[in-house]
Amino acid sequence: MAGTGNVIVVDHPLVQHKLTLMRRKDQPTTDFRRLVSEVSLLLAYEVTRDLPLETIEIETPLEPMTAPILAGKKLCFVSILRAGNGILDGMLDLVPSARVGHVGLYRDPETLVPVEYYIKVPDDLGERLTVVVDPMLATGHSAAAAIGRLKQAGAKKIRFVCLLAAPEGLAVVAETHPDVTVYTAAIDRQLDSHGYIRPGLGDAGDRLFGTK
């Protein structure tokens, strides 16, 4: 991994290989969805690297032993609808006991400002590591708005995971939420005039769900 400030780029060879396959415009929806799930599992591995452990007494088939197990409340994954669900599925494969929340936001096509239409999260967010997931960190406004709402709901320790980030989006999150670390597979060049990441991979939601 490579990290500067509040950004960690997961540069594992398998992540980079699968990301390249995802970027290809001729990648079918089924394969794109599978690749997102696979990369998400690998990103989940990195974002949970420092989860606290405690020890318990167990018995193996051969003898008793003291062994490590996750301590305290399980973490919570929060998906920014709808595209975040593509990442959520892969992460739950790795941490099936995690709690799950959802924040519904859409980006106004004229102003690019996020509009909230739904939020449902566990009551005890303050006692859990909260991992917010969305494939693309573009303008950063949706991510910043979602993180702000989660803080209002009690979240104290938040991390953000995405497949791709633009420098503009990273700057917005760093300015509005300097306590939040962003995990991403790559930082692309820039945003275009429509708020799309370049070179990017297109609209992740449309490619995940075959809606365009």
136 is in an annotated binding site: yes
- Name residues whose C-beta falls within 8 Å of residue 49's C-beta, 6 or more positions apart in sequence: none
Q: Is 55 a catalytic residue?
A: no
Q: Is 203 a catalytic residue?
A: yes
**CA 60 – CA 170 distance, rounded (Å):** 46
134 is in an annotated binding site: yes
C-beta separation of 119 from 140 below 8 A: no
CA of residue 30 relative to chain centroid, distance:
20
Comparing CA positions, the residue from 162, 208, 170 lying closest to residue 189 is 170
149 is in an annotated binding site: no
142 is in an annotated binding site: yes
135 is in an annotated binding site: yes
139 is in an annotated binding site: yes
Catalytic residue among 34, 107, 149, 176: 107
Q: Is 26 a catalytic residue?
A: no
Q: Is 111 a catalytic residue?
A: yes
192 is in an annotated binding site: no
107 is in an annotated binding site: yes
- Cβ burial, residue 71 (10 Å; 0-12/13-18/19+): exposed
Catalytic residue among 31, 124, 206, 211: 206
Q: Where is the binding site for uracil, in residues?
A: 197, 202-204
Residues that constitute the known binding site: 82, 107, 134-142, 197, 202-204
Catalytic residues: 107, 111, 203, 206
The annotated binding site for 5-phospho-alpha-D-ribose 1-diphosphate is made up of: 82, 107, 134-142, 203
